[in-house]
Structures are given as C-alpha cells and as structure tokens.
C-alpha cells in the first residue's frame, strides 16, 4: 500500500498537483488514495496487478466505458480533470485518476433503488460497441490458478466445465455490480469501478446483485425490470464463486491477514465441489 501512495503522490506532484495529506479510501483489489487537499482520487493497482497482466488494459476499458456513460448523463464517478487520467505506470504502479466524489457510508441502500439504478445503467450500456472481453470472470480464473497451489487443477477442471456452459456474446456489463461499487451521494447513487466490464449475459450482473450481503439480493432481483433466465443466473453464480477463490487467495499475497478468510472460503468451495470433480 505504501508503494501505491508514494507513486500516486509523486506522479501528481510531477504534474502540478501537490498532496500534503493523502488518505487511503480503500485498500483492496486496488488502492484508492484521495490526494488531499485536491479533489483527485488515484486508483492504484493492488491485487488486480497480481492477477491481471497488463492491468493497464483493464484500467483503460474502465475509462472507455465511463466516457460512454458520461455522454449519456449516467451518474458515474468521472475521470479527473486536474491530472492526466491514465492509465499510466509510475514507479512500477499502474494508476488512473478520478474526481473525488463524497460518499455517505451510513446510507442503507434500498434493494429496489439499487435494482432501478442497475437497470438504468444497463440501458445506457446497451449501445456500447467498443471491444470488451468475452469471458471476463473466467479469464481471471485462468490467470489466477498459480495462487491456488495444490488445488489449481481442481479449479481448472471446474473452469472448463463452466466455460463450456456459458453462452458467448451478449451485452456490455458493469461486471462487478454490487452495492459496494456505488457511492451514496446527496444526489443519489453514483456508479464506480468499471474495470471488470465485459460482454456477456445480463444474468452475470444480476447474479452479483443477488449474491450481495449488502442488501436483500433476492428483493433486488425481484425489483429488477424485465425477465431473466433462472438457470443462467445460477450458472453465473457458480462462476462468481469460482472467481472468488482466485481473488481471495491472490489478496493474501498483499494482505496476509486475509489468509484465514481465504482458506475458509476455499474449504467451503472444495467441500461443495470435490465429489463432482
């Protein structure tokens, strides 16, 4: 994390933005650093940089999707106007730069409100035509198998089974559509974190919404307008659970305190799948 802070502050200073009081907003898949007192947030690759290579490709797609959404007046966090927005690699860290958007974490997002906001987002993404990955979350599994050690081949076999079942094609998706990726502002919900965007079935985003523990996922699914394929929804849920093993095990490399959490979740997955594989 310290390397990410130093790189963000150094790059900003080289471009005329001096941060005398940087604050880490989040240290997870990426490190988000508010370059106080400026209204700029640096997104520095964290665990994403371990799993995805080159991670700048994911950061670049995020910026492209956000540009598309801003042109359609969708409430999303905008790239910074005070720095080159990136992606750039500075001092070995991949960075992009965003406008600081105040967020009230005490707000309890209602399931119906989240579902409506996601539906609006999907409508705005419907005509996004730039290239996107065709098997986004399944790609993460392949990239991350080295983090699974002795269990890698079991996950590889499950990856192959699920990949054969997933329909190809589809539409542009958020890719990580859960309440942790929206900001609660005085003007409503604002979407954030599009680096997982890919082109696939709508059921992927719906499955993530359904699985979240941050609100009543079943109620959100029921509130989402339109129909969906229940079997495909379940398949996407299985893929998400598989993908989760990769991210948890990879995160331990940066955040050793997560070892017990990652191992417990992997044990749950193995118990549910070993007999099938």
Q: pLDDT digit string (tens) for 99-136?
A: 999 999 899 999 999 999 999 999 999 999 999 999 99
Distance CA 23, CA 96 (A): 16
> What pLDDT, in 10s, does the model give residues 43-87?
999 999 999 999 999 999 999 999 999 999 999 999 999 999 999
How deeply is 144 buried, as exposed, middle or buried, from its count of CB atoms within 10 A (0-12, 13-18, 19+)? buried
Q: How confident is the model at residue 276 (pLDDT cuts 50, 70, 90)?
A: low
- CATH number corresponding to 111-273: 3.90.1200.10
Whole-number pLDDT of residue 274? 79
The predicted structure's pLDDT at residue 259: 96
User: What would the two tokens of residue 29 be?
Assistant: 């898949």
pLDDT of residue 84: 93
Angstrom distances, CA of residue 127 to CA of 73, 163, 173, 256: 14, 26, 11, 42
Q: How many residues does the chain have?
A: 277
pTM score, whole prediction: 0.94
CATH architecture of 2-99: 2-Layer Sandwich (3.30)
What is the rounded average pLDDT of the residues 191-198? 97
Q: Which residues of 76-98 are buried (b: 16+ CB within 10 A; e: fewer)?
A: bbebbebbebbbbbbeebbbbbb
Cβ burial of 45 (10 Å; 0-12, 13-18, 19+) is buried
The predicted model gives 229-234 an average pLDDT of: 98
**Residue range(s) in the chain whose domain bears CATH number 3.30.200:** 2-99
Looking at the chain, the domain(s) classified CATH 3.90.1200.10 span 111-273
What pairs with residue 99 in β-bridges?
40
């Amino acid at each position: 994390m310290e390397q990410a802070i130093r790189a963000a502050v150094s790059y900003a200073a080289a471009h005329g933005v001096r941060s005398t009081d940087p604050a880490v907003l989040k240290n997870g898949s990426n490190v988000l650093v508010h370059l106080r007192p400026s209204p700029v947030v640096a997104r520095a690759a964290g665990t994403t940089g371990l799993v995805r290579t080159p991670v700048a490709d994911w950061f670049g797609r995020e910026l492209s999707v956000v540009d598309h959404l801003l042109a359609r007046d969708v409430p999303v966090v905008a790239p910074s106007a005070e720095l080159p927005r990136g992606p750039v690699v500075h001092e070995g860290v991949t960075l992009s730069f965003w406008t600081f958007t105040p967020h009230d974490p005490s707000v309890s997002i209602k399931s119906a409100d989240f579902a409506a906001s996601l539906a609006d987002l999907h409508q705005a993404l419907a005509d996004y035509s730039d290239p996107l990955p065709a098997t986004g979350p399944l790609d993460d599994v392949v990239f991350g198998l080295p983090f699974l050690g002795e269990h890698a081949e079991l996950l590889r076999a499950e990856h192959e089974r699920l990949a054969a079942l997933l329909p190809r094609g589809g539409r542009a998706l958020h890719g990580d559509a859960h309440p942790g990726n929206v900001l609660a502002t005085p003007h409503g919900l604002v979407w954030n974190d599009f680096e997982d965007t890919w082109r696939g079935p709508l059921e992927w985003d719906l499955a993530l919404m359904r699985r979240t523990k941050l609100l009543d996922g079943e109620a959100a699914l029921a509130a989402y307008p339109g129909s969906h394929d229940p079997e495909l929804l379940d398949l996407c849920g299985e893929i998400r659970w598989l993908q989760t093993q990769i991210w948890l095990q990879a995160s331990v490399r940066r955040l050793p305190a997560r070892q017990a959490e990652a191992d417990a979740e992997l044990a749950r997955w193995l118990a549910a799948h070993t007999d099938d594989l």
